[in-house]
């Protein structure tokens, strides 16, 4: 009761514990090596992509999707999340802490004042050398706007 009313939803820590319990109860820890879990994650991202693959562009909120399609989407999004949580745990990474830190790093990398209304992050392309035209991800929009 109080527990539920005080929290605003599920923590990553809770999911981590559930996944660890789940594996332990089934004696599946032996399968959960970092690269096994990573490939399982890639598999789930593939299944997530399959949901969207023949649809062309879809609007936010997916207004025309059937309930069963949205349920299925929720399952595939969850599968990706659950393997991501498990992979982080097995690698000894505190995913929640890392995510909060990454949001802060992103805020430094893309300051509001300079980036607002700019699509530089998304469109800027730099050719680096004559032998390799790899697109570089633009490390910020400062100076470009």
Per CB under 8 A, contacts with a copy of itself among 68-87 are: 68-75, 77-82, 84, 87
Q: Taking a C-beta distance cutoff of 8 angstroms, is the pair 85, 95 a contact?
A: yes
Q: Is 138 in the site for a copy of itself (CB under 8 A)?
A: no
Using CA atoms, how far apart are residues 97 and 26, in angstroms rounded to an integer?
A: 28
Site for a copy of itself in 111-130 (CB under 8 A): 112, 115-119, 121-123, 125, 127-129
Q: Is 5 in the site for a copy of itself (CB under 8 A)?
A: no
Residue from the set 1, 5, 64, 131 that interacts with a copy of itself by CB under 8 A: 131
Q: Taking a C-beta distance cutoff of 8 angstroms, is the pair 40, 110 a contact?
A: no
Using CA atoms, how far apart are residues 89 and 79, in angstroms rounded to an integer?
A: 15
């Amino acid at each position: 009761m109080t527990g539920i009313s005080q929290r605003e939803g599920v923590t990553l820590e809770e999911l981590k514990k559930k996944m660890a319990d789940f594996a332990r109860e089934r004696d599946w820890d032996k399968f959960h090596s970092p690269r096994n879990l990573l490939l399982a994650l890639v598999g789930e991202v593939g299944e997530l992509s399959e949901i969207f693959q023949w649809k062309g562009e879809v609007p936010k909120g997916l207004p025309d999707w059937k309930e069963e399609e949205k349920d299925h989407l929720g399952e595939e999004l969850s599968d990706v999340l659950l393997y991501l949580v498990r992979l982080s745990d097995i690698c000894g990474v505190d995913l929640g802490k890392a995510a909060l830190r990454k949001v802060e790093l992103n805020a430094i990398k893309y300051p509001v004042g300079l980036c607002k209304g700019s699509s530089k992050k998304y469109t800027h392309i730099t050719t680096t050398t004559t032998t390799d035209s790899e697109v570089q991800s633009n490390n910020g929009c400062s100076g470009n706007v």
